[in-house]
Structure 1
């Protein structure tokens, strides 16, 4: 481990405003499938190791190695569980195993890991338990939620009771698509290429159109993959907002866009960055690796170097994106 990574206070301005913070990144998009959960799933016939996607074989040493190679001081984990459950008790136990493993990992490596506790769009009771256990007992820094589950998107009014409780906590909600509808997609195009981005865009629009952002002003949502298509179609929403059902006031579209944070997983490029900056500004963008679904080679050789060399970003903007914005959004990540 490098000396820089062992000295979290070596940057004079910890917000990253005067330094590009390439040795002090905070990664808000790190998928974590606990090895303890995989063992539990096999022992209980929930899922077999060989039947799970390769990215679920999360390894602690490999994660730390990637973080050191990319100058990542802290990774905020999204806790993943891919089993199918018929009984509520089994689903709750699955969540407990995963959360307890995440809590133990954070305790083993202070300052290197933090985590979001999962929200379940189809199970309010389990969501409440997960928030209480994850945040109150284990110290989760926020919650994570799928952009959609079946036909339910994040802005569905049926989720208001849970959103109200999260609003009281001023919670940060990290979002991500999973098992999205790919009906009509061209053969050979994986969901993560196009459909994930569309699902994220639809979730963001549901939060805007259904008034979730207005009813719960203390909530903050992180959109993955640069917000999907949302920044690109912002002008289109302004032009046609009154034709949506429910309608959107065109004059408020830019305000709504600034209610979201956007991570850098995959969209940062000389063609994409200017659009994201124009829609959100550098103060609303967060570094995200999307590891391990995005392989180590891609993170270390393609996505992270592209961010560092992006001609649209200066040192100040990179400082905000790599570290400063995350510390402002999640102050619990600040070094002691």
Structure 2
């Protein structure tokens, strides 16, 4: 196994008989729908060109919060289609399923059970803001418990980032640099901290979470979170005398990180935060379009080089590049 990736966001190619949704939102800009976003043959070619044996596919953002409450059947069809798509490439493609987040909790739990029937499903992809008041809301607990009981990890990926006004009036002059570099990672940091403060990892100790972008800034801020809890107790995290898990314990027991950070310094911090056995190589394909002079997709080259520079070409590097993902996601 050369370098199985953590989930690459890609849409399955749908037949001409399938329905499609075109969402028009005046306040949201779009991007070209190129073949690398939906065509599985393009994905396989990309994998071959970059010596990647296995990829885990998932729905890319935006998520499915535009669907009506009765959209559960459509989500079920999408997951079935992902299973069929991956089965056409035995041993090479697995997938993270999605859930009917706008439907009733009973519909969500029913779909979780159905996913157990798909041999190529390796988890569930969720955004942070898909559930109205957030993933730390009490009404979301049954869904999280259902996912944990089914044995699936959750792959969390940001979507909305931060409000545009946070970046100031000149944000548009900087293109997508601020929203993608800071907005996404800060969204991840806030969301996972809310889940932690709500005591969800204490309530559901079996819950497994994979965080994109190495957890945002979590490896750097975890100590400050603990210090604030001890000095400013909350109703759910009551200071140093509370028998709760610490954020460090959660990092090493419930959380896994991808290594999409493009540099050895944050990669080392991520490994120290969760342990080397919980860190997985990621490509970030197809977000960044740039290729290097050698023809390699730039983010793969950068992340691979950072991994080798950080851990050397040995056992630890092999774990991050392939072994951890194969073990954690049962990629065989």
Q: Same fold (TM over 0.5)?
A: yes
Partner residue, 1:65: 45
Is the alpha carbon distance of 1:45 and 1:304 closer, same or farther for their aligned partners in structure 2, counting shifts above 3 Å? closer
Q: 1:173 aligns with which of 148, 151, 154?
A: 154
Number of residue pairs the alignment of both structures matches: 307
Query: Which of 272, 281, 288 does residue 278 from structure 1 map onto?
Result: 272
Secondary structure, counterpart of 1:233 in structure 2:
helix
Q: Does 2:262 match 1:264?
A: no
Say if 1:312 and 1:181 are closer, same or farther in 2 by CA, change over 3 A: closer
Asked if structure 1 preserves the Cα contact closer than 8 Å seen for 2:116 and 2:150, the reply is no
Change (3 A) 1:292 1:38: farther
Q: Give the counterpart of 2:237 among 247, 268, 271.
A: 247
In the other structure, the counterpart of 1:147 is 128
Distance between the aligned counterparts of 2:122 and 2:129, measured in 1?
22
Unaligned runs of 5+ in 1: 1-7, 9-22
Q: Distance in 1 between matches of 2:233 and 2:180?
A: 27
Query: Counterparts of 1:131 and 1:294 in 2: how far apart (Å)?
Result: 32
Q: 5 Å matches for 1:156-235? A: 156-182=137-163, 183-186=165-168, 187-188=171-172, 190=176, 191-235=179-223
Matched, 1:104 2:50: no
Of Structure 1 and Structure 2, the greater strand share is in 1
Indicate the SS of the match to 1:68: helix
Q: Please report how far the alpha carbon of residue 92 of structure 1 lies from its aligned counterpart in structure 2 after TM superposition.
A: 2.5
What's the offset of the Cα at 1:301? 4.1
Verify the 8 A CA contact 1:147 1:153 in the aligned structure 2. Answer: yes
Query: Are 1:200 and 1:227, in contact at CA under 8 Å, matched by a contact in 2?
Result: yes
Q: Is the CA contact 1:41–1:83 (under 8 Å) kept in the aligned structure 2?
A: no
Instruction: Determine the C-alpha separation between the residues in 2 that align with 1:37 and 1:175.
Output: 28
1:306 to 302, 306, 330: 302
SS at match of 2:264: coil
CA contact 2:199–2:237 (8 Å) conserved in 1: no
- For 1:326, the equivalent position in structure 2 comes to 325
For 1:83 and 1:219, the matched residues in 2 are separated by 23
- Residues 148 and 180 of structure 1 are in contact (CA less than 8 Å); yes or no, is this contact kept in structure 2? no
State the distance in 2 between where 1:326 and 1:139 align.
Answer: 14
Q: Which has the higher contact order (CA 8 A, sep 6+)?
A: 1
Change (3 A) 1:244 1:72: farther
Q: Secondary structure at the match of 2:5?
A: strand
Structure 2 unaligned regions, length at least 5: none
Question: Greater shift after overlay, 242-251 or 155-164?
Answer: 242-251
Matches within 5 A, 1:114-129: 114-123=94-103, 124-129=105-110
Using the TM superposition, give the Cα deviation of residue 151 of structure 1 relative to its aligned residue in structure 2, in angstroms. Answer: 4.9
Whether contact under 8 Å (1:115, 1:140) holds in the other structure is yes
CA drift of 1:196 comes to 0.9
Give RMSD over aligned pairs.
Answer: 2.9
Is this contact kept in 1: 2:162–2:184, CA < 8 A? no
Structure 1 residues 33 and 39: alpha-carbon distance in aligned structure 2, compared to 1, 3 A threshold: farther
- 1:287-302 equivalences in 2 (<5 Å): 287-295=281-289, 297=291, 300-302=296-298
